[in-house]
Amino acid sequence: MQTPVRTGQPNETLKPEAKEWHRGTKGTEAEVANPLEQFTIKRYAELGAGPVDAAFTNASLFMLIILGLSFAFFWLGSRNAGIVPGRWQAALEGVLGFVSGIVDENIGPKGKPFVPLIFSLFLFILFANMIGLIPYTFTVTSHIAVTFAFAALVFLICVIVGIARHGLHFFSMFVPANTPPVLLLLITPVELISFLSRPLTLSIRLFANMTAGHILLKVFAGFIISLGAAGILAPLAVLPFGLTVAFYALELLVAVVQAYVFALLTCIYLNDSINLHH
């Protein structure tokens, strides 16, 4: 998320009314804050060869930050690990217990090998969403490319696990048992479409939640500046300020809930592939 007040950076985007307040530091042409600007991919270093574009971007940077924080979380949580846990150990064990609980409730004992996968997904998405709520940062999960890559990974794992465990019998998932043949003509395409649309819904849910929340925050934060510079109306800027604070709290909740929902749905989809009772 980025707030409109960015005094130290070029290309300041502020409403004309806010120019007075801003002119002292920089004389650039200000314009209406663009709430989509925060999603821009900034290419820091060109990498890759030929058609393969592997540029190091702000998305790459924040992915590495997420990885570093995950490593720090594990390091803090598992050093001096003892029978009586310290704060970090209790936090790490709490997250593990939470994820193990989701896996156990939705898949059962056969889901144990998938705990590291679900844990990685949950941790990555949670850290991405939370880091994105710090001003001036970039939200990795606000990009459909990232969320779709996750959803496609989950989809592929579901298909591979299903076929590996049940062979061609896996496709009986689209043919519910004890259904009259006439209805099968209708139900099988419906089941197939609902199965194929899973990666779309999974990726769009996360992407849309993060994008919408960040746009909302940016827009309301912009109102603080434009109202604050509106002379006699300036005291009214308290209203969008209050709303921004409230939305920020809501976005914190959304950040956690979306990570949970992604992990939960992954478990539910995996359960269909592993246990196959439809």
Partner 1 sequence: MPQFDFSQALPQILWLALVFALLYILVSAMLPRVQKVVEDRAGRIAADIRSAEAARAEAEASFSGGSSALADARGNATGITSKARDAASAATARRLADVDETLKIQAEAAAASLATTRAAALAELDSVAADATVDLVKRVAGVDLTSGEAADYVRKVAA
> Shortest gap between Cβ of 150 and partner 1 (angstroms)?
8
- Which residue number, 9 or 120, has a Cβ lying nearer to partner 1? 120
Residues in the chain: 278
Alpha-carbon distance values, 91 to 83, 130, 199 (Å): 14, 16, 31
Residues 142-181 that bind partner 1 (CB under 8 A): 142-146, 149-150, 153
Exactly one of 55, 200, 219, 256 binds partner 1 (CB under 8 A); that residue is 55
- Which residue number, 216 or 224, has a Cβ lying nearer to partner 1? 216
Bridge partners (DSSP) of residue 73 are none
Exactly one of 3, 28, 70, 275 binds partner 1 (CB under 8 A); that residue is 70
> Shortest gap between Cβ of 19 and partner 1 (angstroms)?
26
Residues 11-30 that bind partner 1 (CB under 8 A): none
Number of residues that bind partner 1 (CB under 8 A): 51
- Which residue number, 105 or 249, has a Cβ lying nearer to partner 1? 105
Strand 56-57 relative to strand 43-45, pairing: antiparallel
> Shortest gap between Cβ of 80 and partner 1 (angstroms)?
11
The pattern of x and - marking residues 94 through 133 that bind partner 1 according to CB under 8 A reads: --xx-----------------xxx-xx--xx---------
- Which residue number, 70 or 188, has a Cβ lying nearer to partner 1? 70
- Which residue number, 84 or 168, has a Cβ lying nearer to partner 1? 84
Is 212 near partner 1 (CB under 8 A)?
Answer: no
SS3 annotation, the chain: CCCCCCCCCCCCCCCHHHHHHHCCCCCCCCCCCCCCHHHCCCEEECCCCCCCCCCEEHHHHHHHHHHHHHHHHHHHHHCCCCCCCCHHHHHHHHHHHHHHHHHHHHCCHHHHHHHHHHHHHHHHHHHHHHHHCCCCCCCHHHCHHHHHHHHHHHHHHHHHHHHHHHHHHHHHHHCCCCCCHHHHHHHHHHHHHHHHCHHHHHHHHHHHHHHHHHHHHHHHHHHHHHHHCCHHHHHHHHHHHHHHHHHHHHHHHHHHHHHHHHHHHHHHHHHHHHHCCC
Exactly one of 16, 26, 29, 71 binds partner 1 (CB under 8 A); that residue is 71
Residues that bind partner 1 (CB under 8 A): 36, 39-41, 43, 47-48, 52-57, 59-60, 63-64, 66-67, 70-71, 74, 77-78, 81-83, 85, 89, 92-93, 96-97, 115-117, 119-120, 123-124, 140, 142-146, 149-150, 153, 207, 211
